[in-house]
Structure 1
Amino acid sequence: MLESLRIIVQELNSIRGLQPVLDTIATRVRDAIGTEVCTVYLRDQKTDRYIFMATEGLNREFIGKASVGSHEGLVGQVARREEPINLQNAMADPHFICLPGIGEEAYRGFLGVPIIHQRTVLGVLVVQQKSQRRFDEDEEAFLVTVSAQLAGVIAHAQVTGSIGLLSEDEDEKLAGGKFDGVSGSAGVCIGTGVVVTPTADLYSVPDRSSTNIELELKFFNQCLQAVRKDIEELSGKLASRLAREEQALFDVYLSMLDDNALPLEVCQRIEQGQWAQGAVSQVIRAHVDTFESMNDPYLKERATDVKDLGRRVLAYLQLTDDEELIYPDQTILIGEELTASMLAEVPPEKLAGLVSVRGSANSHVAIFARSLGIPTVMGVQDLPFTKLEGREIILDGYNGHVHYNPSEELHSRFQAIIEEESQLIKGFEVLKDLPGETTDKHRIGLWVNTGLMADVLRSLERGAEGVGLYRSEVPFLLRERFPSEEEQRAIYREQLEAFAPRKVTMRTLDVGGDKSLSYFPIVEDNPFLGWRGIRVTLDHPEIFLVQVRAMLKANQGLNNLRIMLPMISSVTELEEALELLYRAHDELIEELGVELELPEIGVMIEVPAAVYQARDLAKRVSFLSVGSNDLTQYLLAVDRNNSRVASIFDPFHPAILQALQKVAEDAHAEGQQVSICGELAGNPLASPLLVAMGYDVLSMSASNLPKVKSVVRSLSYQQCQDLLQQAMQMDNSRDIRELLEQVLTDVGAHRMLNPVLDEGEAKPEHG
Structure 2
Amino acid sequence: MLDTLRRIVQEVNNAPDIRSALDLMAQRVRDAMGTEVCSIYLRDNDRERYVLMASEGLKREAVGRVSLGLSEGLVGQVGQREEPINLEDAFAHPKFHYLAETGEDPFHAFLGVPVMHHGEVLGVLVVQQRDARRFDQSEEAFLVTISAQLSAVIAHAHASGILFEQLETRKRQASMYDGQPGSSGAAIGIAKLLFPAADLSAVPDREAEDISAEIARLDDALVRVRKEIRDLAERAKASLGVEEQALFDVYLRMLDRHALPAEVVAKIREGHWAQGALRIVVDAHVHNFEMMDDPYLRERAADVRDLGRRVLAQLQSYNRREQEFPDHCILLGEDISAPMLMELPQERIAGIVTTRGSRNSHMAIVARAMSIPTVVGVANLPLKKLDGKELIVDGFRGRVVANATPELKHQFEELIAEEQSLLEGLEKLRDLPAETEDGVSVQLQVNTGLMTDINRSLERGAQGVGLYRSEIPFMIRDRFPSEEEQRVLYREQLQAFAPLPVTMRTLDVGGDKSLSYFPIEEDNPFLGWRGIRVTLDHPEIFIVQVRAMLKAAAGLNNLRIMLPMITNVFEAEEAQHLIHRAWLEVREENVDVEMPPVGVMIEVPATIYQARALAQRVDFLSVGTNDLTQYLLAVDRNNRQVSDLYNSFHPSVLHALLHVVEQAHAEGKPVSVCGEMAGDPASALLLMAMGFDALSMNASNLLRVKAAVRQVNMGFLRRLLNEVLAMDNGEVITAYMDLQLTKVGLGDLIRHRAPAAA
TM-score of the superposition, structure 1-length normalised? 0.84
Give 2:634's aligned residue.
Answer: 637
- Given that 1:77 and 1:95 are in contact with CA atoms closer than 8 Å, whether structure 2 keeps it comes out as no
What is the DSSP-based 3-state SS (H/G/I as helix, E as strand, rest coil) of the residue aligned with 1:698? strand
- Given that 1:213 and 1:270 are in contact with CA atoms closer than 8 Å, whether structure 2 keeps it comes out as no
Structure 2 unaligned blocks of 5 or more? none
Question: Once the 2 structures are TM-superposed, how far is the Cα of residue 313 of structure 1 from its aligned partner?
Answer: 3.7
Instruction: State the percentage of identical aligned residues.
Output: 54
Question: Once the 2 structures are TM-superposed, how far is the Cα of residue 343 of structure 1 from its aligned partner?
Answer: 2.2
Amino acid at match of 2:645: I
Following superposition of structure 1 onto structure 2, how do residues 448-527 of structure 1 map, counting pairs within 5 Å?
A: 448-527=446-525
Of residues 412, 426, 429, the one that matches 1:428 is 426
Of residues 398, 412, 415, the one that matches 1:414 is 412
Following superposition of structure 1 onto structure 2, how do residues 204-243 of structure 1 map, counting pairs within 5 Å?
A: 204-205=201-202, 208-210=205-207, 212=209, 214=211, 216-243=214-241
Give 1:247's aligned residue.
Answer: 245
What is the DSSP-based 3-state SS (H/G/I as helix, E as strand, rest coil) of the residue aligned with 1:435? coil
Number of residues of Structure 1 aligned to a counterpart in Structure 2 = 746
- Given that 2:555 and 2:592 are in contact with CA atoms closer than 8 Å, whether structure 1 keeps it comes out as no
CA distance in 2, matches of 1:284, 1:166: 41
Give 2:304's aligned residue.
Answer: 306
Give 1:688's aligned residue.
Answer: 685
**Cα distance change on mapping 1:697 and 1:516 into 2, 3 Å:** same
Of residues 615, 619, 632, the one that matches 1:618 is 615
CA distance in 1, matches of 2:267, 2:232: 29
**Cα distance change on mapping 1:332 and 1:560 into 2, 3 Å:** same
Question: Once the 2 structures are TM-superposed, how far is the Cα of residue 713 of structure 1 from its aligned partner?
Answer: 1.5
Amino acid at match of 1:235: A
Residues 1:579 and 2:549 are matched in the alignment: no
Of residues 181, 184, 187, the one that matches 1:186 is 184
CA distance in 2, matches of 1:401, 1:49: 27
Give 1:748's aligned residue.
Answer: 745
Amino acid at match of 1:704: N
Question: Once the 2 structures are TM-superposed, how far is the Cα of residue 336 of structure 1 from its aligned partner?
Answer: 3.4
Q: Which moved more, 1:284-293 or 1:319-328?
A: 319-328
Following superposition of structure 1 onto structure 2, how do residues 754-765 of structure 1 map, counting pairs within 5 Å?
A: 754-756=751-753, 759=756
Give 2:358's aligned residue.
Answer: 360
**Cα distance change on mapping 1:636 and 1:384 into 2, 3 Å:** farther
Give 1:662's aligned residue.
Answer: 659
**Cα distance change on mapping 1:7 and 1:428 into 2, 3 Å:** closer
Following superposition of structure 1 onto structure 2, how do residues 1-20 of structure 1 map, counting pairs within 5 Å?
A: 1-2=1-2
CA distance in 2, matches of 1:724, 1:408: 40
Amino acid at match of 2:646: F
Q: 1:405-440: per-residue Cα shift (whole Å, max 9, x none)?
A: 333333333333333332332333322222222222
**Cα distance change on mapping 1:95 and 1:746 into 2, 3 Å:** closer
CA distance in 2, matches of 1:325, 1:703: 32
- Given that 1:210 and 1:216 are in contact with CA atoms closer than 8 Å, whether structure 2 keeps it comes out as no
Question: Once the 2 structures are TM-superposed, how far is the Cα of residue 304 of structure 1 from its aligned partner?
Answer: 2.3
Question: Once the 2 structures are TM-superposed, how far is the Cα of residue 732 of structure 1 from its aligned partner?
Answer: 2.6
- Given that 1:689 and 1:724 are in contact with CA atoms closer than 8 Å, whether structure 2 keeps it comes out as yes
Question: Once the 2 structures are TM-superposed, how far is the Cα of residue 698 of structure 1 from its aligned partner?
Answer: 0.6
Following superposition of structure 1 onto structure 2, how do residues 97-108 of structure 1 map, counting pairs within 5 Å?
A: none
CA RMSD of aligned residues (A): 4.2
CA distance in 1, matches of 2:83, 2:311: 48
Question: Once the 2 structures are TM-superposed, how far is the Cα of residue 381 of structure 1 from its aligned partner?
Answer: 3.5
CA distance in 2, matches of 1:304, 1:80: 46
Question: Once the 2 structures are TM-superposed, how far is the Cα of residue 605 of structure 1 from its aligned partner?
Answer: 0.5
Q: Which moved more, 1:620-629 or 1:125-134?
A: 125-134
What is the DSSP-based 3-state SS (H/G/I as helix, E as strand, rest coil) of the residue aligned with 1:447? strand
CA distance in 1, matches of 2:92, 2:209: 69
- Given that 2:22 and 2:54 are in contact with CA atoms closer than 8 Å, whether structure 1 keeps it comes out as no
Q: Which moved more, 1:494-503 or 1:403-412?
A: 403-412
Amino acid at match of 1:696: D
Give 1:597's aligned residue.
Answer: 594
Give 1:765's aligned residue.
Answer: none
Amino acid at match of 2:609: Y
Question: Once the 2 structures are TM-superposed, how far is the Cα of residue 492 of structure 1 from its aligned partner?
Answer: 0.7
CA distance in 1, matches of 2:298, 2:152: 18
Question: Once the 2 structures are TM-superposed, how far is the Cα of residue 339 of structure 1 from its aligned partner?
Answer: 2.5
Q: 1:667-706: per-residue Cα shift (whole Å, max 9, x none)?
A: 0000000000111101111232111111110101111111
CA distance in 2, matches of 1:665, 1:430: 34
CA distance in 2, matches of 1:663, 1:657: 10
Residues 1:391 and 2:389 are matched in the alignment: yes
Following superposition of structure 1 onto structure 2, how do residues 11-50 of structure 1 map, counting pairs within 5 Å?
A: none
Amino acid at match of 1:658: H
**Cα distance change on mapping 1:731 and 1:121 into 2, 3 Å:** closer
Q: Which moved more, 1:625-634 or 1:186-195?
A: 186-195
Question: Once the 2 structures are TM-superposed, how far is the Cα of residue 714 of structure 1 from its aligned partner?
Answer: 1.5
TM-score of the superposition, structure 2-length normalised? 0.85
Q: 1:122-169: per-residue Cα shift (whole Å, max 9, x none)?
A: 89989999999877655655565566555667888999x9x9668599
- Given that 1:683 and 1:754 are in contact with CA atoms closer than 8 Å, whether structure 2 keeps it comes out as no
**Cα distance change on mapping 1:11 and 1:545 into 2, 3 Å:** farther
- Given that 1:205 and 1:278 are in contact with CA atoms closer than 8 Å, whether structure 2 keeps it comes out as no
Give 2:369's aligned residue.
Answer: 371
Of residues 711, 718, 724, the one that matches 2:721 is 724
Give 1:764's aligned residue.
Answer: none
Residues 1:566 and 2:537 are matched in the alignment: no
Of residues 528, 538, 547, the one that matches 2:536 is 538
Give 2:262's aligned residue.
Answer: 264
What is the DSSP-based 3-state SS (H/G/I as helix, E as strand, rest coil) of the residue aligned with 1:449? strand
What is the DSSP-based 3-state SS (H/G/I as helix, E as strand, rest coil) of the residue aligned with 2:504? strand
CA distance in 2, matches of 1:281, 1:105: 59
CA distance in 2, matches of 1:691, 1:675: 10
- Given that 1:688 and 1:724 are in contact with CA atoms closer than 8 Å, whether structure 2 keeps it comes out as no
CA distance in 1, matches of 2:194, 2:77: 41
Amino acid at match of 2:341: L
Give 1:707's aligned residue.
Answer: 704
Residues 1:547 and 2:540 are matched in the alignment: no
What is the DSSP-based 3-state SS (H/G/I as helix, E as strand, rest coil) of the residue aligned with 1:234? helix
